Structure 1
């Protein structure tokens, strides 16, 4: 099991080193965005984003695998620690049993020794004074009248001492057996505790290594994510610059052809509206902002525009002050049909059936064209009207 875990850890470390090698070159300073990126530059930026995305995918997979292995290692470590705790507890119990058995054996041994000493003294006294009769005389203080009684007592005492000694010796043998069993149990639990300690230390070492690996992969993941964001940002700037250049070119062509910037015709059917007036002023004002970047919640030539921000700014040129909200701008005007559209009117798109779900607005420029700030990465531009998601039109003039 441990060898398998080591192989898994080694494999993960190897994979991490591969990614680490890919991360080794320092990131060069971002080059300035060209005013009109070439197709090759755009393609190269897409390839960089794809490569960075692939590396992020690899490192994310490695991190997921490492975190899963870390979770498994944590469980194994907890099991090993609890097994160690159990082994230490059992060792303590065995030690207590061993200590109790040893003390009990010593007590019995001391009692046996004391009883044996008393027997030895009695036997010695009997031998040295000429036998049991003399010993009995010694016990009576030399009074012959009590001799028979004391002689009987001497026999009883001697017999009791012998029985007591026999019982103590039997207890001593039993205590020796218990002490030997306690010794064997203590040695077994000590060995088990030693093995449990080794397993615990190995598990802790494995989880420490896994934690270090996971931390390393997380650091590499942060670097790769940063590289991906940088590549995406560069690609976005290149697309934006290219769209701005295309918009400038389109505006230049439109100005050269003088097709739409003069007082335009009415929208849907052509003809109808021929004067200058406020509508043309709004259209001309919006045309001056072609190529400006799309910026959320912005309504300034120095910053950029979102869709309702461009309308707000253009309408200020004719003294009309609108809220910075597409659906509120719709509510400010009066609804008109497609056939009634003329330059300066507003056209709206919605994701629902109510005016409260309007999410986009553009300025009708005439001849089927609109001027809009569409989305992030796409600068203000003029384009043909599209009807998908169209909600309706409103006139504020």
Structure 2
């Protein structure tokens, strides 16, 4: 066998021995397939963003309607109190009217008694030969003769009889006044009761309208949430498909690289064998090994990742600490209405506590204090990892900026930790940068 034949034989053995080192090529999806898959995932993500924005608005409107229900409920309570007061006043007026009627009846009886006594006296005077006419003639005098008769009556009637005549007049006035006052008081009380009853009806109708509006909004919000959940599932599937195709491409690229490395190694071995057989003087040089890049920590990304990992966790007012979600606490209002005290979750500042604790930053459980915990940066210069605040002194709400106009937040009772577009209504002019 010649030297050349030996080299060829050795090369054949080397190539044959290493051909089975690399498996057959995996599927290699085309660029168009990968692009289409990514485009579908992007479209689903855009739809999720749109639904998130609509859901945020719907939940805000739901809260407004809940506040309106509370206001209308208080108006209804006020109307009920006013009605009870009016009913009490009407009852008191009826009792006063009944008492006045008794007094008026007594006064009327006294008038009749006084008239009888006066008539008896006049009749007695006439019987004794005086010029006094009947009592009825005296009362109805309209001529000079009648006036003369009246004068004779005044002379004839004793002082006690004149007093009795005065008493008749007084009793008549008293009876009329008592009856008039009782009627007026009763009418006024009944008017108050009617007005209060009408106000109660109006208030209860307004409350019912507010409750129905809140119920309708709650239904619409739930439908939006359902739509968003469905699209998020579609997004997950689309991303899974895109990731699967990209993983296939990555595996194929790795296979190509391994194949190229195998071929290079085969060539090196063949060259080495040929050189050995040819008594080459210098051995093949060792290839330098590239150093692996040193790992680098990213504290901002750690904070963002910890916050994002809590997506879907229920909101609980007063909930959350450095270690994760906790039971909420009672607030005597909206949070109690939603039962936050019985839920394990985060409120807005509790979510920030947990997120930044992963980077070794320990914040207080109050957004107003968190606002002053770091460096204030103009809103126009905010960067991922900055805290965004709303309300005076940042004491209303806080969220974590993600970049691209998006943020992660624990929004309010009845909601969950979520990604939302940045809301600029009531926003503070500065963000707080901790890292």
**TM-score (ref. length: structure 2):** 0.46
TM-score by length of 1: 0.50
